[in-house]
Homo-oligomer: A and B are copies of this chain.
Amino acid sequence: MGPGPSNVHPRVLKALSQPLIGHLDPLFLELMEEIQGLLRYAFRTANRLTIPISATGSAGMEACLVNLLEPGDVVVIGANGAFGNRMLEIARRCRAHPIAVEAPWGNIVEPSAILAAVAAQPRVKAVCLVHAETSTGAWQPTEEVGAALAPTDTLFIVDAVTSLAGVPLEVDAWSIDACYSGTQKCLSCPPGLSPLTFSDKAVAALRARREPVQSWYLDLTMIEKYWGNERAYHHTAPISMNYALAEALRLVREEGLEARWRRHMRHHEALHAGLTAIGLHLAAQEGHRLPMLNSVSIPAGIDDVDVRNALLQEYDLEIGGGLGPLKGKVWRIGLMGESSTPANVLLVLTALERALRERGLAVDPGAAVSAAAAALDNQ
């Protein structure tokens, strides 16, 4: 129940353990087609260029930026947590000129501030937002920015590492041009691949590049020929991880995206009710809290690592610590994919209740789980 990897369904574990076949085997090519179709379903897009990058979510971020940015390009980036900051860093390594639109960690970046930063520049190549800031639990509004950029030349790049299949994400309807995710969050597949989708506008920008993509491994002009009709060899696809991703995506489709979004919200609300009952507060900005990543303010006098170690040792339960300015100040409780269950909500509340009581806080035994159970009942 940390910030990922989430638990994995037994069917996905079983898929992982199937015998290997070649990356150009007709059966594997069929599986690739299926994965692309299922990713389009999950991203809510008709984009042809919709594929898993053969590395983890951070490589998906790098793939979007190195393919779309060129030296000297101006790029506006929402910076309100670790992953927005990472985008700034990667943009600098592309020799682009990133402009940070900052907000305190835990808050969203106001869409109006983003659009003002765009308007202040003669030409902006791209705007980047983190839909679900895993380092803080902030749920970034993206629709308004997409709508404003759609009629312009500016590309809209969205980090959906933690949001995909956990909260509504509409790549086509929100005019997102490049979107990437990770497999180990709400898709509940092991880490190792990064789903990515490029709109026609993004593909046109890719084709119009003046110089080659600086990363050979992440160069989509070549990767799209392996995933497209050419089937041209680029690198050896991670076969087993693709088996797993296909099965994880089949599970998403069987549940249905909307049902999955509702499930994530339901368990978040139950967790929130339980936390509130024992005086714990969510740290992210009210009205913009992610359901699958709950950052909880650590009460005064309670030691972060001490409690996390106790949970791990006594309950075999992992929750995450804070990053950057939130280190030691928040816990991060994941309710992602297969891990988003009533049992997990009740378990983490029970464990926290006991840990806080044992460390001298006035916490009524059972208060948290009672409140959570009531919230689950009312849904």
Contacts and interface: CB of A to CB of B under 8 A. Distances in A.
Interface size class of A (residues with CB under 8 A): 35 or more
A217 interface: yes
A241 interface: yes
Contact of A16 (B4, B56, B86, B240): B240
A52 to B, nearest CB: 12
Interface string A56-79: 111100100010000000000000
Interface stretch (A6-14, A110-118, A266-274): A6-14
A20 interface: yes
B238 A192 contact: yes
Contact of A191 (B25, B218, B238): B238
Contacts of A92: 212
A184 interface: yes
A241 B4 CA distance: 16
B240 A192 contact: yes
Given A215-B62, A217-B62, A56 B235 contact: yes
Main SS class of interface, A: loop
B58 A190 contact: no
A244 interface: yes
B21 A190 contact: no
Interface string A1-42: 010111110000110111111110110000000000000000
A244 B237 CA distance: 16
A92 B14 CA distance: 42
A216 B20 contact: no
A216 B18 CA distance: 33
